[in-house]
């Protein structure tokens, strides 16, 4: 992501690809460990079991648990809930004095978990510095808190736009390059009955769904939500406020699919795959692995990725695994944490590579992002070159909304969901919405 | 001889017989202990939490700093809590009224022994009660779906609506869209109560009224309804209590949205207590306010209706 000059990053990736091309002569297109590292050394202590508390994602945890047990002879117990239920599940287990070796967090709740004392720093653990050296900029911004390494990456993503080629051809549209052009195209598509609702937004209630869409478009237009000194940027005439006014217009004119307001990322990808909308608003890049999956979408292969207007600035983030302070044995918990967010016994980023190849997820490790797991692994669903171009223009979302680093961001995010939903459904105006959110900042800071 | 012997024989008595009062107390002790453990202690503990700062770290440590009325001050200064209370009142008034009317109407219908389908209906009526609330909520989500839902399809094909209605996504309809599945789920219980009460009404009263020339409506107003009053009180108390605590349908269908249109009191308590920053003290305070309101309603119902009966 946008933590270093783009040219340098591109060069870095190219260099790395050349290096891995050499490695492929050995029969591997990915990064391989050259020598045994700390990840291959067994902990001195003994445990009967280890456990993790995570939110669900396919069968990745079954596989990695089996690998852990095969490698170390220690069974892994898992507590898996839905993404939305995860914080409550983790909280009740922690508060109930249950043992939790490893858990995970979105970047939005991570500062809160840290402030509640759930997260164990990793700096002094064997191999931690190697991981840190391989982190992407975005990953560092999430996983390093107050100068301490607090987690290992689960996955990284950037926000991209999508369009449906059949309807674009039918409407004779070229992908939009400005917001005005987008609005005109949406109006024309509706008028010409190309689509009842030409655009589908990811505007369901969540930490990064509805708020993320607003964050992304505001950032792309050159705005932020707080400046470096922590002052809000939501006042009259602010870019965030104007962006919201523009966004509301798409609902007011019934250009936006009403189902947008319930859509989470995967649900919106499935809905967009049905082929009823021309565009899909900013969303996690990996939604393509649903929308372009023949098993899940009747229009697989016809959903294309599109960068943002203007200079193409977008946002991205990284979700993390962390070692819980309620662990049974720090050494073993660290071992398990590495299986989920780092290297397995063979020195491979097994989980990160599998997530890239099977689920199109990005990684918090430069070496994985530059490997064939991404450059080849993403090809069944989208154009990796195009997506990586967008990736280079992405900034960690907390640069746009620095309150993410604060424990009060979570309750404030609740207010964003409520007030922006009200604005989008015509219950209030953009001005009233922003004024309420400004007032809510002080309220949640007190909490 | 046997009868005489039995009459002469002293009944068997324990060497130290308990007085009726003491026996009554002894027999009630297990129930009291159970109730104290499963009801009174949580109520006391919730009250205790509501006066303390309780979040994740405090729970783990087991040390809760006393904050006095701070949690209560916070919720009463929170416009969202006041809105959640307002939404809860609207939801309760709508759902309890409709449920009571429907329960009486349906119970009267299935009470008609001359209608053979009544037996099947009695069974079918119980089906929603057996559906888990979350599952029921999800079923209704599909029914309400803007594009693919059965409800819009039926309205469109019957010509009742030319355009699809966003039942759960529009602030004007969302709360009622949550109330309908709730009523659907809980109505069977109310029907059963009314139906059972109807069985206890002496048929001779109706026969006498008919002889005196009373019509169906007169018999209903002057015999059935007055005799149903005790059960109506029970239904009002129970259904109001449960309606005030509605949660499952909100979770499954709207999650409080759109905006804050379906934020109800229990949802507020849940969000405050079980999502970061886990203000369990605030959640407990809001739940306590809710409990007090329900308690006041229950006392008012009982007082009002029993006064009328007397």
- Contact call for B258 and A421, based on CB within 8 A: yes
Buried (b) or exposed (e) across B152-188, using 16+ Cβ within 10 A?
beebeeeeeeeebbbbbbbbebbbbbbbbbbbbbbbb
Q: What percent of chain B has pLDDT over 90?
A: 62
pLDDT tens-place string over residues A166-193: 999 999 999 999 999 999 999 999 999 9
pLDDT tens-place string over residues A289-323: 999 999 999 999 999 999 999 999 999 999 999 99
- Contact call for B257 and A91, based on CB within 8 A: no
For chain A, the C-alpha Rg in angstroms (whole number) is 22
- Contact call for B59 and A95, based on CB within 8 A: yes
Residues A187-209 have a mean pLDDT of: 95
Residues A311-338 have a mean pLDDT of: 96
- On the question of pLDDT at A88 being above 90, the answer is no
pLDDT of residue B5: 60
B239 is written with which tokens? 């259904």
pLDDT of residue A22: 41
CA pair distance B272, A248, nearest whole angstrom: 28
Q: Which residue of A has its CA nearest to B70?
A: A447
Residues A317-330 have a mean pLDDT of: 96
Could you tell me the pLDDT band of residue A335, with boundaries at 50, 70 and 90?
very high
CA pair distance B133, B135, nearest whole angstrom: 5
Where would I find the H helices in chain B?
2-8, 20-35, 41-50, 56-61, 70-76, 79-110, 117-124, 127-130, 133-144, 150-157, 174-199, 203-211, 216-219, 225-244, 248-249, 265-274, 280-309
Element (H, E) at A284: strand A279-284
pLDDT of residue B298: 84
CB A151 within 8 A of CB A364: no
Where would I find the H helices in A201-346?
210-220, 239-252, 265-273, 288-291, 330-341
Q: Which residues of B touch A430 (CB under 8 A)?
A: none
Nearest Cα of chain B lies from the Cα of A407 at a distance, in angstroms, of 7
- Find all residues with CB under 8 Å of B75, minimum gap 6, and list them: B81, B282, B285, B286, B289
Q: Which residue of A has its CA nearest to B61?
A: A95
CA distances from A181 to A178, A239, B64 (A): 5, 18, 57
pLDDT of residue A344: 96
Residues in chain B with pLDDT values less than 70: 1-15, 307-310
- On the question of pLDDT at A351 being above 90, the answer is yes
pLDDT of residue A34: 52
B76 is written with which tokens? 């009463």
B169, B271, B279 member nearest A261 (Cβ): B169
Please tell me if residue A298 touches chain B, with a CB cutoff of 8 Å: no
pLDDT tens-place string over residues A48-75: 999 999 998 888 899 999 999 999 999 9
A152 φ/ψ sector (left φ>0, alpha ψ -120 to 50, else beta): beta
Please identify among residues 105-164 of chain A the ones whose CB lies closer than 8 Å to any CB of chain B.
Answer: 109, 112-113, 115-118
β-strand pairing of A152-164 with A279-284: antiparallel
Q: Which of A318, A372, A394 is nearest to A107 (CA)?
A: A318
pLDDT of residue B94: 97
- Contact call for B259 and A447, based on CB within 8 A: no
A95, A116, A259 member nearest B146 (Cβ): A259
Distance from the first to the final alpha carbon of chain B = 52
pLDDT of residue B110: 87
Q: Which of A328, A355, A357 is nearest to A340 (CA)?
A: A355
- On the question of pLDDT at A24 being above 90, the answer is no
- Angle of the B79-110 helix axis to the B174-199 helix axis, nearest 10: 40
**A59: exposed, middle or buried (C-beta count within 10 Å: 0-12, 13-18, 19+)?**
exposed
List residues of B whose CB lies inside 8 A of any A CB.
55-57, 59-60, 74, 78, 80, 145-147, 166, 168-171, 255-261, 263, 271, 274-279, 282
- Contact call for A425 and B55, based on CB within 8 A: no
- On the question of pLDDT at A160 being above 80, the answer is yes
Of A109 and A248, which is predicted with more confidence?
A248
Q: What percent of chain A has pLDDT over 70?
A: 92
CA pair distance A75, A69, nearest whole angstrom: 5
Count of beta carbons in the 10 Å neighbourhood of residue A426:
14
CB B58 within 8 A of CB B78: no
pLDDT tens-place string over residues A415-447: 999 999 999 999 999 999 999 999 999 888 876
A18 is written with which tokens? 């050349």
Q: What ipTM does the predicted assembly reach? A: 0.77
B255, B257, B275 member nearest A88 (Cβ): B275
CA pair distance A5, B47, nearest whole angstrom: 57
pLDDT of residue B148: 84
pLDDT of residue B113: 73
CB A337 within 8 A of CB A103: no
Could you tell me the pLDDT band of residue A91, with boundaries at 50, 70 and 90?
confident
């Amino acid at each position: 992501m946008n933590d270093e000059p783009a040219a340098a990053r591109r060069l870095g990736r190219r260099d790395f690809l050349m290096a891995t091309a050499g490695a492929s002569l050995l029969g591997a297109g990915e990064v391989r460990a050259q020598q045994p590292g700390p990840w291959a050394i067994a902990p001195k202590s003994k445990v009967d079991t280890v456990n993790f508390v995570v939110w669900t994602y396919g069968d990745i945890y079954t596989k990695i648990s089996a690998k852990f047990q095969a490698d170390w002879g220690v069974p892994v117990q898992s507590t898996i809930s839905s993404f939305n239920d995860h914080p409550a599940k983790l909280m009740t287990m922690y508060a109930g004095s249950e043992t939790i070796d490893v858990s995970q967090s979105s970047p939005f709740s991570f500062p809160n978990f840290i402030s509640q004392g759930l997260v164990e720093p990793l700096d002094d653990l064997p191999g931690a510095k190697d991981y840190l050296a391989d982190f992407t900029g975005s990953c560092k911004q999430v996983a390093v808190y107050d100068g301490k390494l607090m987690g290992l990456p689960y996955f990284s993503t950037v926000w991209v736009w999508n369009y449906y080629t059949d309807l674009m051809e039918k409407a004779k549209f070229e992908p939009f390059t400005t917001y005005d052009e987008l609005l005109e195209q949406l109006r024309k598509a509706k008028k010409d009955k190309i689509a009842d609702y030409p655009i589908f937004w990811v505007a369901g209630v969540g930490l990064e769904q509805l708020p993320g869409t607003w964050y992304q478009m505001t950032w792309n237009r050159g705005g932020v939500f707080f400046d470096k000194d922590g002052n809000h940027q939501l006042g009259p005439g602010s870019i965030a406020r104007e962006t919201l006014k523009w966004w509301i217009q798409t609902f007011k004119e019934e250009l936006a699919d009403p189902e947008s307001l319930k859509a989470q990322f995967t649900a919106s990808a499935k809905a967009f795959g049905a082929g009823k909308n021309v565009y899909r608003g900013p969303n996690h890049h990996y939604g393509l692995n649903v929308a372009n999956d023949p098993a899940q979408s009747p229009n697989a292969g016809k959903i294309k990725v599109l960068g943002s207007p203007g200079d193409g600035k977008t946002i991205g983030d990284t979700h993390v695994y962390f070692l819980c302070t309620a662990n049974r044995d720090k050494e073993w918990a660290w071992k398990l944490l590495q299986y989920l967010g780092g290297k397995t016994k063979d020195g491979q980023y097994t989980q990160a590579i599998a997530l890239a190849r099977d689920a199109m997820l990005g990684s918090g490790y430069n070496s994985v992002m530059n490997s064939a797991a991404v450059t080849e692994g993403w090809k069944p669903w989208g154009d990796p070159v195009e997506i990586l171009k967008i990736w280079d223009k992405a900034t960690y979302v907390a640069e746009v909304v620095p309150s993410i680093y604060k424990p009060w961001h979570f309750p404030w995010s609740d207010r964003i969901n409520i007030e922006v939903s009200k604005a989008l459904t015509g219950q209030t105006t953009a001005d009233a919405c922003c004024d309420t959110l400004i007032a809510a900042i002080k309220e949640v800071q007190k909490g | 001889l046997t009868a005489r012997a039995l009459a002469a024989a002293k009944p068997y008595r324990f060497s130290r017989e308990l007085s009726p009062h003491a026996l009554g107390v002894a027999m009630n002790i297990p129930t009291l202990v159970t109730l104290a453990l499963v009801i009174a202690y949580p109520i006391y503990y919730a009250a205790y939490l509501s006066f303390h700062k309780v979040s994740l770290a405090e729970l783990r440590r087991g040390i809760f700093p006393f904050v006095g009325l701070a949690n209560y001050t916070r919720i009463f200064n929170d416009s969202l809590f006041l809105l959640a209370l307002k939404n809860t009142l609207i939801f309760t008034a709508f759902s309890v009224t409709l449920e009571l009317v429907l329960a009486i109407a349906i119970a009267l219908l299935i009470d008609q022994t001359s209608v053979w389908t009544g037996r099947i209906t009695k069974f079918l009526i119980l089906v929603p009660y057996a559906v888990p609330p979350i599952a029921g909520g999800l079923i209704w989500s599909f029914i309400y779906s803007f594009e693919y839902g059965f409800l819009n399809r039926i309205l469109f094909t019957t010509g009742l609506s030319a355009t699809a209605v966003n039942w759960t996504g529009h602030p004007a309809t969302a709360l009622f869209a949550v109330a309908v599945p709730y009523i659907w789920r809980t109505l069977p219980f109310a029907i059963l109560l009314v139906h059972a009460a109807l069985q206890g009404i002496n048929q001779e009263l109706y026969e006498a009224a008919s002889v005196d020339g009373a019509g169906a409506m007169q018999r209903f107003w002057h015999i059935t309804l007055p005799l149903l009053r005790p059960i109506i009180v029970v239904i009002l108390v129970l259904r109001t209590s449960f309606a005030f605590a509605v949660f499952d349908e909100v979770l499954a269908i709207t999650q409080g949205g759109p905006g804050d249109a379906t934020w109800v009191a229990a949802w507020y308590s849940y969000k405050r207590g079980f999502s970061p920053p886990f203000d369990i003290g605030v959640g407990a305070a809001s739940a306590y306010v809710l409990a007090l309101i329900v308690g006041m309603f229950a006392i008012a119902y009982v007082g009002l209706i029993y006064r009328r009966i007397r």
